[in-house]
Amino acid sequence: MNRQDRIDALKAAAKERILILDGAWGAMIQRRGLEESDYRGDRFPEDKYPGQMKGNNDILCLTRPDIVTDLHNAYYGAGADISETNTFSSTVIAQDDYKLDEQSVWDINMEGAKLGRAAADAWTAKTPDKPRFLAGSIGPLNKMLSMSSDVNDPGARSVTFDEVYNAYRQQIRALNEGGVDLYLIETITDTLNCKAAIKAIMDLEDEGMDKLPIWISGTITDRSGRTLSGQTVEAFWNSVRHAKPFAIGFNCALGADLMRPHIAALSRVADTLVAAYPNAGLPNEMGEYDEQPEQTSGAVGGWAKDGLVNILGGCCGTTPDHIAAIAEAVDGVKPRDPVPGKHTMRLSGLEPFEVGA
C-alpha cells in the first residue's frame, strides 16, 4: 500500500474496532542488558562523543537496529495495530544531553522511521486483513516553555519557542520522509511545547510535506487531574483541538485505575477518537512495575465496554504480554462514537471557558 492507502486503511479500521497501540520500549530494552558498546557502536567513539551514552535508547536505531526491529515485531506479533518509532527523545534539544550533533539526530529519526516502516509492511504482507501502521513518536522535552527554569525568576526560560519549534520541525520532517503513517505527540507535560510541535507540522504541510494524521497524548501527572503545566483535561483539549487531531488522549504517569476518570472526562468533550495507554500500575519502591497483564487488560477492557475509548495500548512497565491481553480483552468491542462538535468559542487557560451557544 502507498501512504494514502495506509492512512485510509487506518481511518477505516478505527471505525470498525478499537485499535491497539504497542507497549513500553524502555523496559523491554533494559531487559536486553546492553552495554556502553551497544549504544556507541562504531559511529560514536568515546574520543568524539565523551560521557556516557548508555541509556540513550533512541540511538539504538543507528547502533543496534536489530533490537529495534525485534521490538516492533514483538508488539505487532502481540496484536498491536500501531507501533511507535524508537524516537521518543530524538530532538536536538533532548539529545544535547548526549552531545549529539544535528546530523546524528536527523539520522536517528530517519532510520527509526525506516525500521518501523519495514516491520509494519512485513506484517501487513503476512496478514493483509490486519494492516499494521507506524506512528512517529514525538516525545516531550527536558526543557519547558510554560514554566520557569529558575525558582527565583518566574520569567526565566532555558529555551525559546523558536528553538523548540525548530527542534520539532527537524524531527517531524525526518519522520515524514522516513515513512511514518501518523504523528504521535506524546507524554505532553507542557502544552506550549506541544503547540510548537503542532505549528511545525502545519507549517511543513503548507510547504508541501505530506499531510498525516496527528495523535496528541497528554499526561496527567498526579491525583490533581492536571498536566504538569497546570491544565485540566478539558482545558488541555481546548488548547489543542484547533489541530483537528485524529486522536486525543493521555498516557504515562498513572496506572489504569487512576487514569480512568480523566479518560472519561475527555470522552465527554472530544469530537475525535479518544486514546489511552496507561502504565502497568504505579512503580514500587524499586521503581519497577508489578501490574500483571490480566490486571491492566481487565481495567482498560472495562473502559472499552463502557464506550470511553477508540485506541488502547500500554506505557511504562507494559510488555508484549500486556498488549496481547489488552487486544484479547477488547476483541469485538464496539469503539466509542465521538461526540458532536460544538459551534461555540471554547477557550483555555488552566481551566476551560466556553462562550455562548
Q: Which residues are annotated as a binding site for Zn(2+)?
A: 252, 315-316
242 neighbors 201 (Cβ within 8 angstroms): no
Rounded to 5°, angle at Cα 271 from 228 and 170: 55
Binding residues: 252, 315-316
Q: How far is CA 129 from CA 63, 81, 123, in A?
A: 34, 11, 10
Nearest to 175 by CA among 216, 212, 132, 125: 212
Nearest to 176 by CA among 110, 106, 229, 245: 110
Give the DSSP per-residue string, 234-263. HHHHHHHGGG--SEEEEEEEEEHHHHHHHH
336 neighbors 267 (Cβ within 8 angstroms): yes
| Rounded-to-integer distance, Cα 177 and Cα 104, Å | 16
| Rounded-to-integer distance, Cα 220 and Cα 226, Å | 5
